[in-house]
Amino acid sequence: MLAVTGPNGAGKSSLLRLVAGLIHPAQGRVVIAGGDPELSIGEQAHYVGHQDAIKPSLTVTENLAFWSRWLGDGNKVAAALAGVGLGALAHLPALHLSAGQRRRLSLARLLAAQRPIWLLDEPGSVLDAAGGAMLAAIMRVHLAAGGLILAAIHGPLELEATRELRLGGTP
């Protein structure tokens, strides 16, 4: 687990987008040491950014089913929704979700399709205390299974053995 910290505008989000392959480096290239050279970074990593990438007119289940199929594993939708505490809301249009519930739905992609690397940009934003505990729990499970997490954060995460990379400002 590497926590990327620093003030607004320091480049935390840009770094994650660069690693995810969403923007290109001015020089050099980004590679995953030990990764599968036949797969793109996007096929080996989940990127969850600031925006939740949810279609309001689709139900909670339909939104996650879309992403699950897109990411290559459409069979874990119900379990993923239960894992983020949205199982009871599966039938609702996403339009009716609170900001925290929308964030949980975005995070459910992490559970619906397995990837060894998670790139998370402010993953705990808009989550309440219970949501923050849920996020920490799924992150711990991912790390315990040998996964890697690169997370841009402003506040502390309740995870053990976290390394920190501070961008901008003074140390």
Q: Is residue 96 part of a domain?
A: yes
| Residue 118 maps to a domain | yes
Strands (E), the chain: 2-5, 45-48, 117-121, 148-152, 163-166
How far apart, in whole angstroms, are the C-alpha atoms of residue 54 and residue 59?
A: 10
The number of distinct structural domains making up the chain is 1
Residues 171 and 168: their CA atoms lie apart, in Å, by 8
Kindly state whether residue 31 falls inside one of the protein's structural domains: no
Question: What is the pTM assigned to this prediction?
Answer: 0.90
Q: What share of the chain is helix, strand, coil (3-state, %, to 5)?
A: 40, 15, 45
- Of 116, 120, 85, nearest in space to 101 by CA: 85
Closest CA to 120 of 13, 34, 9: 13
CB 60 within 8 A of CB 96: no
Mean pLDDT of the chain: 89
30 in any annotated domain:
no
Q: Does residue 34 sit within a domain?
A: no
- Which residue range forms the structural domain that includes residue 115? 2-25+39-166
Query: What is the distance of C-alpha 139 from the center of its chain?
Result: 10
Structure tokens at 54: 């949810």
Question: What CATH number does residue 57 fall under?
Answer: 3.40.50.300
Over residues 1-58, the pLDDT tens digits come to: 999 999 989 999 999 999 998 998 899 988 888 888 888 887 889 999 988 889 999 9
User: In this structure, is residue 32 part of a structural domain?
Assistant: no
Q: Looking at per-residue confidence, does 165 or 42 come out higher?
A: 165
Q: Is residue 149 part of a domain?
A: yes
- Is 77 inside any structural domain? yes
pLDDT at 169: 67
User: Tokens 């983020």 appear where?
Assistant: 84
